[in-house]
C-alpha cells in the first residue's frame, strides 16, 4: 500500500510550477505559504495532483482519500481490479490523476520505516479521483512490488515515468495498458537515513 509520501518543491522546479498552477485553479482558496512545500503528505491532506482538462494536463488541489462503503477511508486501490470494482470503475474510465512526489514511505512487519525514491528525480504515482460532496478526492493505485520493495511490503504504488504521465491522463486505452507495468527500481533508505540498497531488479 501507500500511506504517506513526501512532496518537496525545494528539489524540483517542476513541482513549484505544479503548485502555482493548482493555486490558480483553486481561485485563491489555497495559500502557497500554508501548503507544506517540503513535508509529508498523509491521508485526508490536500495535495497537488495532475489531471486532464481536455487534451491538456493541469494541476489542482485534491484531498487524499475517498469514503468507503462502510464508513472507512479508501486511500489506495488495486491496479489489478480497479476496472472491476463499482466504486472505482467510472473513475478509472474518465477521472484518472497523477500524484507527484519526491518519494514515498513504507513500513515493514516490524514497523521499521523506509523511504523509497528515484535519486535526483521526482516520481509520479498513478491515481484516480472522484467528486465527493463538491470536493475532488483521490486514491493511489498499487501493484505487485518490484525487487526494491518486495521484502518490505506486498504492495507498492503504481509509478509512472515522466513520459507516461500524459498518456495515463489523456488516453484511456494506454492507461489500461499502464495498469500492468512493473514500476522502476527505486533506492530505499531506512528511517535513520542509512542507505540499505537500491536498484534491485
Residue-level length of the chain: 201
Provide the grid cell at 40: 509529508
Alpha-carbon gap, residue 137 to 128, rounded angstroms: 8
Q: Which of 60, 97, 106, 137 is catalytic?
A: 106
Question: Could you give the strand order of the β-sheet that contains 113-117, starting from the edge strand earlier in sequence?
Answer: 38-41, 5-8, 103-107, 113-117, 187-190, 195-198
Alpha-carbon gap, residue 63 to 113, rounded angstroms: 24
Alpha-carbon gap, residue 118 to 95, rounded angstroms: 27
Closest CA to 181 of 130, 126, 137, 108: 126
Residue 191 designated active-site:
no
Alpha-carbon gap, residue 161 to 34, rounded angstroms: 29
Residue located via cell numbers 507544506: 36
The dihedrals phi and psi of 143, each to the nearest 5 degrees, come to -145, -175
Residue 50's beta-bridge partner residues?
A: 59, 98
Q: Which of 2, 60, 97, 137 is catalytic?
A: 2
Q: Known catalytic residues?
A: 2, 106
Amino acid at each position: 500500500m501507500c500511506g504517506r509520501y513526501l512532496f518537496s518543491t525545494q528539489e524540483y522546479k517542476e513541482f513549484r510550477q505544479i503548485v502555482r498552477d493548482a493555486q490558480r485553479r483553486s481561485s485563491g482558496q489555497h495559500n502557497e505559504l500554508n501548503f507544506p512545500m517540503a513535508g509529508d503528505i498523509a491521508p485526508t491532506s490536500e495535495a497537488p495532483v495532475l489531471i486532464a482538462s481536455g487534451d491538456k494536463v493541469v494541476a489542482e488541489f485534491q484531498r487524499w482519500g475517498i469514503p468507503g462503503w462502510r464508513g472507512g477511508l479508501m486511500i489506495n486501490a488495486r491496479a489489478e481490479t480497479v476496472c472491476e470494482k463499482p466504486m472505482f470503475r467510472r473513475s478509472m474510465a474518465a477521472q484518472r490523476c497523477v500524484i507527484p512526489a519526491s518519494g514515498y514511505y513504507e513500513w515493514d512487519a516490524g514497523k521499521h520505516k523506509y523511504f523509497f525514491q528515484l535519486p535526483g528525480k521526482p516520481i509520479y504515482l498513478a491515481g484516480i479521483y472522484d467528486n465527493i460532496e463538491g470536493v475532488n478526492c483521490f486514491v493511489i493505485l498499487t501493484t505487485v512490488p518490484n525487487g526494491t520493495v518486495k521484502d518490505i511490503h506486498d504492495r507498492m504504488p503504481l509509478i509512472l515515468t515522466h513520459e507516461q504521465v500524459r498518456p495515463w491522463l489523456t488516453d484511456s486505452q494506454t492507461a489500461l495498458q499502464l495498469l500492468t507495468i512493473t514500476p522502476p527500481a527505486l533506492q530505499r533508505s531506512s528511517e535513520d537515513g542509512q542507505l540499505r540498497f537500491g536498484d534491485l531488479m
